Structures are given as C-alpha cells and as structure tokens.
C-alpha cells in the first residue's frame, strides 16, 4: 500500500471531507501535517493584503508570493503528492487542491517552443503565482525561476526558466505543529458552506480560501527588509499592521455584529472565531467600562485581535485599541471603552 501511494501519489479529498475541527476552535489540514488554517472569505484576504500594501509598500505582494511558494512546497513534500510533467492538466487532483485554497484556474499556454502559464485566483494573483511556482517545481523535479510577466489582482501570466543545478527541497524554518492523534476532531460542518464541482468552497456566493497560519509566518520572514526596525520592534510593528489590516477588512466586509451584554461575546467567539479556525473565547467580562476577553488561538494573536477589535467597533462605533497580555494557555485583551 505504501509503495502504491508513493507511485500514484496522495488522493486529495474535497476540503469538506479533508479539514478537521478541534475542540479548541482550530481547523487543521491533514495535507499540511495538521497545520492549523484560517477558512476566510477570499475578498477579505485580498483586502488584508491590499491594506498591508498601503502600509508597507507594493513589495509585500512579492514577499507574499515567496511565502505562498514556501507553504505549497512544504505541503507537497508533507503530503507525498506525486506529480510529473510540465502541464498542470495532467496532475492528479491538482484542480481540487488548487480550488480548495481559493484559486480558480492554472493552465499552460504554449507559444512555439516557449511554455507560459496563466493563474487565476478568487483572492490574489500573488498567492496563486507563489503556490503554482512550488507546484511546477515539484512536478518537474527541477529548480526553476518564475517571472511574472503581467499581473492584476486576480490573474497573472508567468514565464518559467529552469536553473541548472541539482533539485532539492529545503523546508523553511518554522515551529512544528503540536497536535497529536489524541485530539478529538470533527469534520468541517458549516450549514452555509457549499462545495462546487471542482473542490472550491462557497459561502452565500462568496468564495472561501484555505489560508494556513504558517503562510503569515513565512510572509513576515520574507518581509523583514520592509520594516526599518530590528528584532522585537520589527515583529511588533508587523503584528500591529496585520491586526489593523484584518480589522479594517472585516469592517469593510459589512458583517453585522450585535452585542447586548457580556454573554453576547460567547456568540461572537463561536461565529467569528471558532467557526473559521481562529480559536475560542474562554471568558468575557465588563468592569468599569473595560472589556476583558480571554481566548486561545493557534493563529498569530494579531489576527483574532483584529477580528475582535472590528467586532467591537461594528457593535459600539468605538475604535478601541486593546492592551494584550500573553499567557501559556492563551492571551487576554483589555479594551478601554472610555476613550
């Protein structure tokens, strides 16, 4: 059986069959060695990246492409998916994997002896370009240099050049996930989500994307030169920009949030965090007009922080920046509503 798996490659199930939900409000992806992911509307992801581009400059699209390439290279190595040939139409289950991550099409366009590729995404061409670069390198078993000939937000045309050196995959440095087989997991069941025939996910006619949290780690690593700071200062600045970008994207999405009392935050936690893989709220309390929220998350803390900041603003029309305290089991946010 193991020999056949290596020969034929891993079968890729649809995201609804593949993704697993944990008791701690995470969604894990077995094809990424149970790495936790964010199931997010594609337009919200695009808005987050565009906001980061406004804050740090257009180079964040290039560094995002590198991050997507690292993530897909790691996933293909972890999952033992086996592809050959330069034409993605011949890759087994590629479309299902591609659509599950929120992309649309990837195809080879020949022009004489030159092969070019066009990639399309429901969120960002930068993500699609990076992911496809890793897929093509994996199929060719050859180091390649990918050039982006033209690109708009959702479509990119790519040229490919082989590099004459021995191909090998070196995984990026990243903390391994801590999930073990004893964690109780359930299949992804969200009534509003539908799967299309090619493996993509839809939420009320809006496309969804599978975005692993390690993508944000890779993105931050490849973008260190964009911040004129070093060490912890640069890390904190990046996290602040990302949190603000997440908050703005969520507010612009038009999501309605109703907060009547402290108990309402439990519903916010279920509907805006846990359902999409962003963690779980352990408690929420109000004292002297200060909102205290304790939560756990496998995401970078700035992501659920951005969501909760946006929820508070949508519900109260107050823009409060939380103070954050971290613990071994999670973190605490304090929102001063007197400001």
In a 10 Å sphere around its CB, with 0-12 CB exposed, 13-18 middle and 19+ buried, how is residue 159 labelled? middle
User: Domain check: are 150 and 237 in the same one?
Assistant: no
- Find the angle CA(189)-CA(9)-CA(110) to the nearest 5 degrees: 100
Mean pLDDT of the chain: 87
Residues 244 and 328 placed together within one structural domain of the fold: yes
Angstrom distance (rounded) from CA 219 to CA 45: 14
Summarize pLDDT for 8-56 with one digit per residue, the tens. Answer: 456 888 888 899 999 889 999 999 999 999 999 999 999 999 999 999 9
**Angle between helices 213-222 and 59-79 in degrees, nearest 10:** 130
Is 179 within the bounds of a domain? no
Residue 242 and residue 244: Cα distance in Å, rounded? 5
Q: From the CA atom positions of the chain, what is the Rg in Å?
A: 20
Q: Is residue 110 part of a domain?
A: yes
Distance CA 310, CA 325 (A): 19
Task: Specify whether 153 is located in the same domain as 284.
Answer: no
Judgement on whether residues 9 and 149 belong to the same structural domain of the protein = yes
> Burial level of 78, CB count in 10 A (0-12/13-18/19+)?
middle
Pairwise CA distance, residues 129 & 112, whole Å: 23
pLDDT of amino acid 179: 54
**pLDDT digit string (tens) for 53-98?**
999 999 999 999 999 999 999 999 988 899 998 899 999 999 999 9
- Is 242 in the same domain as 141? no
| pLDDT score recorded for residue 271 | 92
Q: Based on the domain organization, do 147 and 246 belong to the same domain?
A: no
Q: End of a domain among 130, 162, 194?
A: 162
- 155-159, 206-210, 213-217, 230-234 — which is least confidently predicted? 230-234
For the cut 60, the answer to whether the pLDDT of residue 184 exceeds it is no
Residue 175 lies in a domain: no
pLDDT at 125: 93
Whether 208 maps to a domain, the answer reads: no
Least Cα distance to 33 among 81, 101, 95 occurs for 81
Domain that holds residue 316: 230-336
Smallest Cα–Cα separation from 284: which of 259, 255, 256?
259
Closest CA to 130 of 173, 72, 83, 90: 72
Question: Within a domain: residue 47?
Answer: yes
Same domain for 14 and 118, yes or no, is yes
Residue of higher predicted confidence among 274 and 198: 274
CATH number at residue 90: 3.30.1380
Report the distance separating Cα 336 and Cα 261, nearest Å.
16
Cα–Cα distance, 157 to 128 (Å, whole number): 11
Q: Which residue shows structure tokens 């964690």? A: 183
Whole-angstrom CA distances from 153 to 46, 101, 219, 279, 309 are: 8, 16, 18, 30, 27
Is position 284 within any domain? yes
Q: Say which residues have a Cβ less than 8 Å from residue 309's Cβ, sequence separation at least 6.
A: 243, 247, 320, 321, 322, 335
pLDDT of residue 8: 43
pLDDT tens for each residue of 98-110: 999 999 999 998 7
The pLDDT tens digits of the residues spanning 270-309 come to 999 999 999 999 999 988 889 999 999 999 999 999 999 9
d(CA 184, CA 216) in angstroms, rounded, equals 26
Residue 200 belongs to a domain: no
Establish if 188 belongs to a structural domain: no
Predicted TM-score (pTM) of the model is: 0.90
11 and 149 share a domain?
A: yes
Q: Where does a domain end: 162, 183, 199?
A: 162
Listed residues 162, 188, 210: the one ending a domain = 162
- Counted domains in the chain: 2
* Residue 101 CA to its chain's centroid (Å): 8
Q: Tell whether 158 and 26 lie within a shared domain.
A: yes
Q: Which residues contact 171 (CB under 8 A, 6 or more apart)?
A: 73, 74, 77
Check whether residue 118 and residue 266 sit in a common domain. Answer: no
CB-based contact 295:330 (threshold 8 Å): yes
As a whole-number percent, the residues of the chain with pLDDT over 70 amount to 90
Looking at the structure, tell me whether residues 22 and 129 fall in a common domain: yes
């Amino acid at each position: 059986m193991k020999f056949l798996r290596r020969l034929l490659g891993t079968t890729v199930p649809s995201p609804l069959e593949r993704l697993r939900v944990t008791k701690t409000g995470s969604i894990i992806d077995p094809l990424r060695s149970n790495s936790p992911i964010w199931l997010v509307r594609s337009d919200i992801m695009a808005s987050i990246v565009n906001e980061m581009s406004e804050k740090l400059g257009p180079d964040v699209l290039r560094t995002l492409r590198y991050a997507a390439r690292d993530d897909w290279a790691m996933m293909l190595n972890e999952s033992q998916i086996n592809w050959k040939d330069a034409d993605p139409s011949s890759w087994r289950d590629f479309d299902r994997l591609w659509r599950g991550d929120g992309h649309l099409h990837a195809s080879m366009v020949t022009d004489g002896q030159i092969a070019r590729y066009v990639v399309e995404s429901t969120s960002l061409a930068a993500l699609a370009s990076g992911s496809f670069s890793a897929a093509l390198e994996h199929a060719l078993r050859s180091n390649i240099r990918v050039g982006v000939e033209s690109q708009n937000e959702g479509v990119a045309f790519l040229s490919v050049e082989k590099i004459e050196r021995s191909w090998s995959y070196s995984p990026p440095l990243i903390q391994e996930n801590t999930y073990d087989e004893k964690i109780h997991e359930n299949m992804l069941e969200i009534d509003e989500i539908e799967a299309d025939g090619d493996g993509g996910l839809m939420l009320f006619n809006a496309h969804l994307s599978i975005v692993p949290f390690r993508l944000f780690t890779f993105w931050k690593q490849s973008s260190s030169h964009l911040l004129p700071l070093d060490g912890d200062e640069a890390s904190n600045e990046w996290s602040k920009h990302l949190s603000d970008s997440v908050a703005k994207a969520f507010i612009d999405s038009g999501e309605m949030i109703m907060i009547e009392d402290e108990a309402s935050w439990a519903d916010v936690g279920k509907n805006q965090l846990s359902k999409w893989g962003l963690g779980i709220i352990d408690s929420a309390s109000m004292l002297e007009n200060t909102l205290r929220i304790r939560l756990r998350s496998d995401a970078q803390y700035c992501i659920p922080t951005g969501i909760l900041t946006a929820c508070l603003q949508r519900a109260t029309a107050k823009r409060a920046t939380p103070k954050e305290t971290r613990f071994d089991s999670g973190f605490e946010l304090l929102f001063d509503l007197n400001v």
